[in-house]
Structure 1
Amino acid sequence: MSTAISLNGITKTFAQMAEGKNGGEQPGIKVLKGITTDINHGEFVALQGTSGSGKSTLLHIIGLLDRPTEGQYRLNGNDTSTLDDDSQSDLRNKTLGFIFQSFYLIPYATALENVTLPGLYSGKPRAELTARAESLLEQVGLADRMDFRPSRLSGGQQQRVAMARAMLNEPDIILADEPTGQLDSSTSSEIMKLFHTVHQSGKTIVLVTHDENVALEAERIIKLHDGKIAEDTRL
């Protein structure tokens, strides 16, 4: 398999400001402490850890939403440290799809409009984007909810919309941050079935979770503890 994500010595330190009248910067908080690992195309990987372990910070770096303090990150062979913000944005839009715990749907837009939104920056014709968005909503079981706004959708339905939106630009890699965190166990199970369907279509999935049952749905679990890889297990 070819390498999709290559991390070598990744660290992340956040600056902190001192309290009190003197102010000034204090030694930073080191959240990631030398992460080195590769994720291959077609893998389904869970990043598991407790709150504060660094898993979401690592996902943000993988997703080009943040830059590491030190270390090298290659995405599909591209050394991301050499790319300016515009080039990173272009690579992100073409390569990555995002699914978040809080859905981040536009409240005044319909399900169809929410799914179509990421494609508006691609330059593709609106009719083509709409047709693909409709197809994706059908695939996630929302053919009869396309004209519904988020307030009329359940949590599980909103996450289905978010999954369809993540797939619109046909990304190679899907990044999911606690996608079942706000869902009950039955709905979580349904969402994980969708993840398996996406994975079986050939997509690489990196999913952040604190839930061991969700992590066990993946084929590989990378456990983080205190900013370091504590375990890396292939199931």
Structure 2
Amino acid sequence: MSAVISLTDITKTFARFDEQGDSGKDGGEAQGITVLKGITLDIAHNDFVALQGTSGSGKSTLLHIIGLLDRPTSGSYALLGHDTAGLDDDHQSDLRNQALGFVFQSFYLIPYATALENVILPGLYSGKPRVELQARAESLLEQVGLADRMHFRPSRLSGGQQQRVAMARAMLNEPDIVLADEPTGQLDSTTSAEIIKLFHRVHEAGTTIVLVTHDADVGREAGRIIKLHDGRIVEDIR
């Protein structure tokens, strides 16, 4: 099966400065911290992948590169057959909005917008009619069990309900791939299990999922576990 995500020898180095000055002044010299060290990885259509590793292992940095939220220092990355290095920021943004959905630990809902308005938001850049976007958003909120909460603002929703809104928002543009960074990190075990059930439903519908987690139980829900250590893949288990 062809890869929807193909990474070849990806490295990522962040600049830092020595103690003499954080901006290179007063004799300070720029130094590099290499977080990813030659990651080569293919992820196929409809894979359900968990990225695991200790804090600082590089898993979130890798997810950000996959999500076109950051660029690698070196190496090549093809997303759905597109060589991302050849795309300028605008074209990367278009590809990200069309192909990817995101779910984060902190939900990132707009506090003054209702659940429905939060779900509609990523569709505003698609050019689709508002009425069409609203109908799909309402359907998605019904599917995640929030039909009676769609006009509530985030402050009136529990953490689990807010994450359900984030799941619906991620699916609005019918992405090929959903990327999730610690999506159960702020939830209790019962609510976490409910959110993981939603991920399984999304996966069963044909969507590729790449999920970062510290939780071994959450990781075992995936069909493939990739473990990182010190910026390198040390295990790839199906």
Give the TM-score of the pair, scaled to structure 2: 0.97
How far apart are residue 18 of structure 1 and its match?
2.1
Partner of 2:123, secondary structure, is helix
Aligned Cα root-mean-square deviation (Å): 0.8
116, 140, 158: which one aligns with 2:144: 140
Match of 1:230 in 2: 234
Counterpart amino acid of 1:7?
Answer: L
The residue aligned with 1:103 is 107
Please give the residue correspondences for 1:1-235 in structure 2 after superposition, counting only pairs within 5 Å: 1-20=1-20, 22-234=26-238
For structure 2, list consecutive stretches of 5 or more residues without a partner in the other structure. none
AA matched with 1:65: L
Deviations for 1:21-66, whole angstroms, at most 9, x for unmatched residues? 5253332000000000100001000001111000000000000000
SS in 1 for 2:36: strand
Tell me, what secondary structure is at the counterpart of 2:94?
helix
Which string of whole-angstrom CA distances, capped at 9 and with x for unpartnered residues, describes residues 86-119 of structure 1? Answer: 1100111110000000000000000000000000
Cα separation, 1, equivalents of 2:77 and 2:33 = 21
Counterpart of 2:64, as a letter, is: H
The amino acid across from 1:115 in the alignment is V
Contact 1:109 1:149 in 2 (8 A): yes
Number of equivalences: 234
Is the contact made by 2:18 and 2:31 (CA closer than 8 Å) also made in structure 1?
no
Superposition deviation, residue 20 in structure 1: 2.7
Unmatched segments (≥5 aa) in structure 1? none
Distance in 2 of aligned mates of 1:45 and 1:151:
32
1:99·1:179 contact (CA, 8 Å) conserved in 2?
yes
The alpha-carbon deviation at position 2 of structure 1 amounts to 1.9
* Partners of 1:13 and 1:43 in 2: CA distance: 28
Deviation (angstroms), 1:17 = 1.7
Q: What TM-score results when the alignment is normalised by the length of structure 1?
A: 0.98
CA distance in 2, matches of 1:135, 1:24: 56
Moved more, 133-142 or 18-27: 18-27
Provide the C-alpha distance between the structure 1 equivalents of 2:138 and 2:65, rounded to a whole number of angstroms: 31
User: 3-state SS of the aligned residue for 2:136?
Assistant: helix
- CA gap of 1:23–1:188, structure 2 versus 1, over 3 A, is farther
